[in-house]
Amino acid sequence: MPPSSLRVVYAFAREMHPKNSDVFIQYGTAGFRTKANLLEHVVYRMGLLAVIRSRVKNGRTIGMMITASHNLEPDNGVKLIDPDGEMLEESWEEIATRLANVSDNDLESTTVEIIKQVNADMSLKASVFIGMDTRYTSPRLAAAAANGVIALKGTPKEFGIVTTPMLHFCVKCRNDNKYGTPTEEGYYEKIVGAFKAICQKLPVSGDYNPTLYVDGANGVGGKKLNIIKKSLDGELDLHLFNLGGNGGKLNLNCGADFVKVSQSPPVGVEHVPFQRVASLDGDGDRIVYYYLDDENKMNLLDGDRIATLLASYIAELLKTCDATDLNMGIVQTAYANGASTQYIIEQLKLPVTCVKTGVKHLHHAALAYDIGIYFEANGHGTVVYSETAKKTIRKIAEEGEPEQRKAASLFVKFIDMTNETVGDALSDLFLAESVLRARALAAPRWRALYADRPARQLKCPVQDRNIIKTTDAERKCTSPEGLQTRIDELVARHTNGRAFVRASGTEDVVRVYAEADTTQAADKLAAEVAQAVHDLAGGVGDRPVLPE
């Protein structure tokens, strides 16, 4: 494509999607995310970049998802999805940031520079899938994305309102037709179909109750479950709340992030003692469970709990299949509760890899195992399987001894039920429900597998978050000088003490995490560490601590 044909890039920008703000915006793990009124020019430019990325990948389809996930409704965002359904390759984050922030006058020349830098063959066809969440600003931004694709002569396909993981799934299927059919219906056929097949092999028994309450966060996940509900044939009795009506606002006092951070139940849900509730987030890529006991006490079952539940069942299936030569491990971040890590190592006898915060880091580390399970404590996670693992299990399902075949056929459906591309609240819900059903478990017995150590998260406003440098998967602070020594001194005063700090990826705050043997001790340790950050890292104002 000669430079003269790129003039339309500037024309589209000037006439339809001009850059009206000087606010610098950076591509991170979650893509770009900020106030929706600052994003239109950014999303248009990411349409350009998606076309370039598609051509670098020999015309394979790239995804663009318009969402701000668990953020409140005034925010929005955009993230790019690579051909295998994974996050955008990390080396392209700087390119995305550069393209998003240049002036309109420099947009055409910068686009030419990027095309040369990445050696894109602009004569190739380019395909981009576009999805969006339920925010009122999403349709306008999705249109800007499509215009960016069209400006560089790519082909956009708009999926309308879908969960983020559905779009990841469709991109993967479009580039690998063995994985599934690249439509919303194809998603239901594979994932929900596998759940129903497993249910037929696992009759309800023991303490398991197929009634499940779901907090939909007034977002897209609840709406899609409302569609799925009609096809479940009674195998799972879904009671759906916070579906976006009756004045409910997206993620406001509801949803997975609210439940996890506030440790309190969402508004808008009817509660029955010991009834398990699943809380989704706004775009359907996170899930946490909880229940209230007969004293109305909150009992949270977060991403750590889901990871250990799935791991214990997969390990059991592997043993029954006599396929224990397949290596399995769990990937966590420093935010994982220390009790969960201890349970995995000592009880499940599985290796644990700890990585930096951010799904891209967890996903990459999980791929090192034949069966890699990764979850952030916030409820974002999934299971990935190597081709060796899939072939081995399928072969056992066809040729093994009777008990092996039975376990392997369950495992095949378990794999089909998994959205391997990204954390998926709906897929994870069906996986968790399958294990609870197989184990005849009620929520209290699930929670009793181990006792969480009390933990507290705080944030400390600072002048410049970039002063904080870390190592050892963010568990040790290397800058500013003296801060880690101070943290070590404070931790040593507390039984089962553990604490770390890390810079926020989105705002000038330092995030503080602390654990100890009692709630009071965890609160005290978190406050002490936050004070140390305030004193040594340029804290803003007199009050160093804000609730996380």
Residues with a known catalytic role: 69
Cα distance between residue 362 and residue 81, in whole Å: 16
Alpha-carbon separation of residue 129 from 56, 126, 174, 350 (angstroms): 16, 10, 9, 38
Cα distance between residue 165 and residue 426, in whole Å: 9
DSSP string of 83-109, one letter each residue: TTSPBPPGGGHHHHHHHHHS-HHHHHH
Q: Do 427 and 172 meet the contact criterion of CB atoms below 8 Å apart?
A: no
Strand partners, 34: 76
Q: Tell me if residue 77 falls in helix, strand or coil.
A: strand
DSSP string of 205-217, one letter each residue: -TT---EEEEE-T
Q: Do 221 and 280 meet the contact criterion of CB atoms below 8 Å apart?
A: yes
Helices 303-321, 402-417: crossing angle, 10 deg rounding: 150
Strand partners, 212: 238
Task: Give the H or E element holding residue 112.
Answer: helix 104-117
Cα distance between residue 506 and residue 31, in whole Å: 11
How many Cβ atoms are within 10 Å of 254's Cβ, its own excluded?
Answer: 28
Residues 23, 24, 27: CA angle, nearest 5 degrees: 135
Cα distance between residue 389 and residue 386, in whole Å: 5
CA 426 distance to own-chain centroid: 12
Tokens of 43: 């999303």
How many Cβ atoms are within 10 Å of 217's Cβ, its own excluded?
Answer: 37
